[in-house]
Amino acid sequence: MEHLPRSWFERPASELAPALLNKLVVSRIDPAPVVGRIVEVEAYEEHDPASHTFGGPTARNRVMFGPAGHLYVYLSYGIHRCANVVAGSEGAGQAVLLRALEPVAGIETMRARRPGRRDRDLADGPGKLCQAMAIDLLHDGVDLTDPDAPLTIHDDGVAAPAAPLVGPRVGITKAVDVPWRFRLPPAS
DNA sequence: AAAGAGATGGTCT
DNA sequence: GACCATCTCTTTT
């Protein structure tokens, strides 16, 4: 289980996004670690009308303008949290939205956090995965490259798919035509 | 199986 | 005061 250095994250969000597929998100927010494999992501860049950074720096989006490899968390629809990995060079204003995880470890904890859901529904959405991993607004700005951070990203040797599924982003009203959503292909 | 609507609160104009 | 990078439950086919 290899730790990814900050330099690995320092590339455009549209390039980082497919590279994040099959990487592991490790949550140590609770006593027992919870691990999920990234299976769906979306890229957001600064000149993108759908990005939170489109209008320039604000109190909410300041983490997106900081160094790559940090976590950007925001409140969605007043109810859900959404987690992003900051991309690009410092000051750029880019990030990759984590859209879906597949449980790898700590599934009992995930079930306890999302009672009554089928296992396949534990983390298969941006809000759902934050519930399953216990990611909250408190974690906005966490350095994912710090081994002691409550949230980290690891590489367990499973390569990103050579040909990920690519399509338009969802849940947005602007720049819906850009093919910046990436998913693992169907199980082999 | 698909479609519709309500929940709920921070952020920005 | 409008606008959401969503989820869940209910209703209809």
Per-residue pLDDT reduced to its tens digit, A116-125 = 999 999 999 9
A80-108 pLDDT, tens digit per residue, is 999 999 999 999 999 999 999 999 999 99
The residue whose two tokens read 């007043």 is A78
* Distance of A75 CA from B9 C1′ (whole Å): 8
Percent of chain A whose pLDDT exceeds 70: 99
List residues bridging with A3 in a β-sheet. A154
Q: Kindly tell me the burial class for residue A116, based on how many C-beta atoms sit within 10 Å of its own C-beta (0-12, 13-18, 19 or more).
A: exposed
- Report the pLDDT averaged over residues A177-186: 94
The residue whose two tokens read 């900050």 is A6
Cβ of A80 near strand C (under 7 Å)? The reply is yes
Q: What is the pLDDT of residue A23?
A: 98
Strand B positions within 7 A of protein Cβ atoms = 7-13
The 3-state DSSP composition of chain A as helix, strand, coil percent (nearest 5) reads 20, 30, 50
Cβ of A55 near strand B (under 7 Å)? The reply is yes
> In chain A, which residues from 72 to 131 place their CB closer than 7 Å to nucleic acid strand B?
74-79
Q: What is the pLDDT of residue A60?
A: 98
* Distance of A170 CA from C13 C1′ (whole Å): 26
Q: What is the pLDDT of residue A3?
A: 84
Closest CA to A72 of A139, A4, A153: A139
> In chain A, which residues from 140 to 169 place their CB closer than 7 Å to nucleic acid strand B?
none
Contacts of residue A85, defined as CB under 8 A and 6 or more positions apart, other chains included, come to: A9, A16, A20, A68, A69, A70, A71, A72, A95, A96, A98, A144, A153
pLDDT band (50, 70, 90) for residue A32: confident
- Report the pLDDT averaged over residues A54-62: 97
Q: What is the pLDDT of residue A177?
A: 92
Q: What is the pLDDT of residue A53?
A: 98
Q: How far is CA A115 from CA A16, A102, A128, in A?
A: 33, 17, 12
Neighbours of A101 (CB within 10 A): 28
Closest CA to A82 of A22, A139, A33, A120: A139
The SS3 assignment for A86 reads: strand
Contacts of residue A5, defined as CB under 8 A and 6 or more positions apart, other chains included, come to: A145
* Distance of A117 CA from C11 C1′ (whole Å): 21
